Amino acid sequence: MIRNLETGKETPLNLPLTRLRWSGDGNFIAGVDSTLTKTREGDISICPAGSGPCEKLTKGYNPVWSRNDSHIYFLRASEFTDGVELWRISREGRDETWIADLRPMYPIGHIYDVSPKGEIVYVQFKPGKQELWLMDFLNR
């Protein structure tokens, strides 16, 4: 559901989307239709903020709009167990392009963003020595 905070009016989306991101102009929402899969990946779709049909663009997850809303960046599982692939596709669903392998990536939260200049930032995971600590709390 989309809720207009000024009017309180709610409008249902045509698809149940997860991992949502608003376009910069606020007219569209990109998200993942994960009803057909049990993994992170699903159909990345764009839905209008009002009424109207959603458009399927590609397969992946965690969509992020470019600064001018002309492209959507997204992630896909990779052959590496310690990372993912970063891709980009045009707003119209053309010119799907591999950008980079993001690795090592934090295993449980694939978090990244795209700057207005097109720079990528992500949480890089560098495991250290595994330790188990025991703490004894004093009763006060």
Task: Quote the pLDDT of residue 36.
Answer: 65
**Structural tokens at position 33:** 């239709």
Domain contains 71: yes
Domain contains 58: yes
Task: Quote the pLDDT of residue 61.
Answer: 94
Give the bridge partners for 29, in sequence order.
22, 47
Task: Quote the pLDDT of residue 5.
Answer: 87
Element containing residue 58 per DSSP (H, E):
strand 55-65
Question: What percentage of the chain carries pLDDT values higher than 90?
Answer: 50
Domain contains 62: yes
Structural domain of 7:
2-122
Sign of CA dihedral 46, 73, 125, 84: positive
**Structural tokens at position 110:** 């694939």
Domain contains 128: no
Domain contains 130: no
Domain contains 127: no
CA–CA dist 84, 100 (Å, integer): 9
What are 12-63's pLDDT values in tens digits?
888 888 889 999 999 999 999 867 666 778 999 999 987 789 999 999 999 9
Higher pLDDT, 78 or 51: 78
Which pLDDT band holds residue 140 (cuts at 50, 70, 90)? low
CA–CA dist 50, 67 (Å, integer): 21
ω into 53 cis (within 30 of 0): no
CATH for 28: 2.120.10.30
Residue 131: is its pLDDT beyond 90? no
Instruction: Name the domain count of the chain.
Output: 1
Task: Quote the pLDDT of residue 37.
Answer: 63
Domain contains 99: yes
Task: Quote the pLDDT of residue 57.
Answer: 95
